[in-house]
Structure 1
Amino acid sequence: METRFIGFDHEWVRVRWKILGAARLVVPPFAGKGRDDGLWNTTCFELFLQTPGDKAYVELNLSPSERWNAYDFEGRREGMAERPMPREPECTMRKGTDMAIFDAAIPAAGLPARPWRCGITAVLEEEGGIKSLWALSHANPAAPDFHDPACFTFEVAAPSVA
């Protein structure tokens, strides 16, 4: 899996996940926009954002079904609450015979101020119920935990002042 932090402006943060060898990838059927829990039980793309030096972080779950959710955590898997968002993320999935692309545009106004330490992750389900957990880094590959701050390895700088 390849991920790319495409960029951001004052309205949107854009992230792309590219999956090679996706012939057997299970893509959840279209369910319409809206919040939903448990999206990680099948193919789901996730983004974790943490301000450096802070224990708190944000988790976004984005599904090819167009369902999504956003959560605030006070610390590692502690104090979870649904995060308000000013509007829904925009998500699209394209799947060919052996490659899939998932693009997400997340409303910037619903996210904490930069700088961020990011975890960019995915749960991929294949036919037969085979699931794999993908991240830029796993602190413990034998027991992957996307909520481990050691997985938040991608850094996004604060905006520059002109």
Structure 2
Amino acid sequence: MANISMTEVSLMCHPQSDAGGIAAIDVTATLGQGGEFKLVYRVIGAIGALKIADPAIPDRVDGLWKNTCFELFVGNSEDKSYLEYNFAPSGQWAAYQFSGYRAEMAQLETEAPKISVVDGGQFLTVSVKLYVPDTERHVDLWVGISAVAATKSGKISYWALAHPAGSPDFHHNDCFALKLEARSGA
């Protein structure tokens, strides 16, 4: 039997953000023993109002958060280091590693995540499959799941499991609100 951890969560819109017609963003996160992470983001609301880049070659691209994108932060419970992944509905992605809060940012060497998108008019589903590095596979992880919803009219809303006081900041420790226990090989 596979040793997996599956969690369903709802993201909250930051109180200083205008949701821009988005009613909810729900996420299912699954972590398998081999480091396979599956995320399914479900956005409900005025999907046609969102600023979404056209489908593109699934390359690594910086600055995806300037448009609608989905994010995953993975913190190692044994130190202050963490990983940041960005997924755009266009298929483009980014991955970074940090030694501590916004410290020593570097590109994370990893294989490209698999991103698929279904636009259902009043809902948008973005499914992602990726593998966390070996160093993160056998320790407890603190996870932050978030999204940036940008509208064609220029409004931007910030969604996360939890938000720190003040301005939106997905890198803040308060956003790492989901604990996933280490997966054993059993």
Q: Is TM > 0.5 for Structure 1 vs Structure 2?
A: yes
2:62 corresponds in structure 1 to: 37
Q: Which moved more, 1:96-105 or 1:3-12?
A: 3-12
Query: Could you tell me how far apart the structure 1 residues matched to 2:134 and 2:63 are?
Result: 21
Query: Could you tell me how far apart the structure 1 residues matched to 2:79 and 2:169 are?
Result: 19
2:136 aligned counterpart, secondary structure: coil
1:34 aligned counterpart, secondary structure: coil
How many Å apart are 1:16 and its aligned residue? Answer: 1.0
Cα distance change, pair 116–13 in 1 and its aligned pair in 2 (3 A): same
**Structure 2 counterpart of 1:93, from 101, 110, 117:** 117
Cα distance change, pair 74–63 in 1 and its aligned pair in 2 (3 A): same
2:103 pairs with 1:103:
no
Aligned-partner residue type, residue 8 of structure 1: G
> Structure 2: any 5+ residue segments left out of the alignment?
1-24
Q: How many residues align?
A: 160
Query: Could you tell me how far apart the structure 2 residues matched to 1:46 and 1:98 are?
Result: 21
Aligned-partner residue type, residue 92 of structure 1: S
Query: Could you tell me how far apart the structure 1 residues matched to 2:88 and 2:134 are?
Result: 18
Scaled by the length of structure 1, what TM-score is found?
Answer: 0.91
2:43 pairs with 1:19:
yes
Aligned-partner residue type, residue 40 of structure 2: R
> Structure 1: any 5+ residue segments left out of the alignment?
none
Query: Could you tell me how far apart the structure 1 residues matched to 2:184 and 2:36 are?
Result: 17
**Structure 2 counterpart of 1:6, from 7, 30, 51:** 30
**Structure 1 counterpart of 2:85, from 48, 55, 60:** 60
1:72 aligned counterpart, secondary structure: strand
Contact kept? 1:58, 1:72, Cα under 8 Å? yes
Query: Could you tell me how far apart the structure 1 residues matched to 2:108 and 2:134 are?
Result: 8
Deviating 4+ runs (over 4 angstroms): none
Identical-pair percentage:
32
1:153 corresponds in structure 2 to: 177
Query: Could you tell me how far apart the structure 1 residues matched to 2:41 and 2:95 are?
Result: 18
